[in-house]
Amino acid sequence: MIDVVPVPRSVIGMLREAYRTAMRAQIVHDSWHLRGWMQCFVLRDREAVLGYVALGQAPGHPPDTLKEFYLEPSADSRSEAVLGVAIRATGARRIEAQTNDPFLGPQLARVATDLEPIAHLFADGGATALPAPGVRLRRIDPAEHANVFPHSTEPIGEWGLEAEARIVATGGFLLHYNPPFADLFMEVAPDARGRGYASYLVQELRRLCGEHGRVPAARCDPGNRASQRALERGGMVQCGRIMRGRVVG
């Protein structure tokens, strides 16, 4: 008999570290545990610990979305049965998972319906050598923010591209993810788009990540083809998607 026991986040510490290691990729919502947005449940068979599940959602939404599922290697053959028990016991009604998650990814089509992609995921690719004549990459001092073009989707980054005596793009990388991964972000001034600045900035942010001992990762909305092309030209490769759906039954 499988028991599903609600526990504080601190109790699953070692189990979650095992999950993070097994992922071998950026966990987009890794920080949700620290923010207190997850409810955790240990999975047990008598006294043997099989793994855990975590449900959560951003503030203002019901915490009924299955986000993480981890099984110890000794229980891997029981994955389907254990997940089914966990879903029923926790009352999970929705699921949101990365397709490159080795635990939930393969189960998505079986346990969920009405699946839709909400983000495309990117991993570091091969070396690139995009030229940028007349462009200078430099740090942006916070005192300069008032003179930087208005940003509509991303914050003003720590790094910027200077061309024609002005900042035409900014970006950076966020570090509140499972090590060694860092999340790239960038934005280009509306009147400077279509000139290759975004791709060049992605290339340079990848290089800076490496210099800081980090592995670059990124994501973008499924409908944002311009951002996808910039990431790919800058050396990133699609490695999965975040899928959202309704739990069957």
Instruction: Please check whether residue 242 is in contact with residue 96, taking contact to mean a CB–CB distance below 8 angstroms.
Output: yes
Per-residue pLDDT of the chain (249 residues; tens, 9 = 90+): 899 999 998 999 999 999 999 999 999 999 999 999 999 999 999 989 999 999 998 898 888 999 999 999 999 999 999 999 999 999 999 999 999 999 999 999 999 999 999 999 999 998 999 999 999 999 999 999 999 999 999 999 999 999 999 999 999 999 999 999 999 999 999 999 999 999 999 999 999 999 999 999 999 999 999 999 999 999 999 999 999 999 997
- Per domain, the residue ranges of the chain are 2-118, 129-233
Domain 2-118 part of CATH 3.40.630.30: yes
> 176, 114, 164, 171: which is closest to 140 by C-alpha?
171
At 209 the three-state DSSP class reads helix
On whether the CB atoms of residues 39 and 22 are closer than 8 A, the answer is no
Q: What is the pLDDT of residue 104?
A: 97
All residues at 6 or more sequence positions from 47 whose CB lies less than 8 Å from its CB, including other chains = none
DSSP per-residue letters across 164-207: TTEEEEEEEEE--SSTTEEEEEEEE-GGGTTSSHHHHHHHHHHH
Q: What is the DSSP letter of 152?
A: S
Same fold: 2-118 with 129-233: yes
222 near 120, Cβ under 8 Å? yes
Task: Write out 61-123 in H/E/C secondary structure.
Answer: CCCCEEEEEEECHHHHHHHHHHHHHHHHHHCCCEEEEECCCCCCHHHHHHHEEEEEEEEEEEE
What's the CATH code, domain 129-233? 3.40.630.30
Instruction: Write down the pLDDT at residue 191.
Output: 97
Closest CA to 142 of 172, 165, 106: 172
d(CA 66, CA 59): 15
Distance CA 138, CA 197 (A): 14
In this prediction, residue 1 carries a pLDDT of 87
Whole-model pTM: value is 0.94
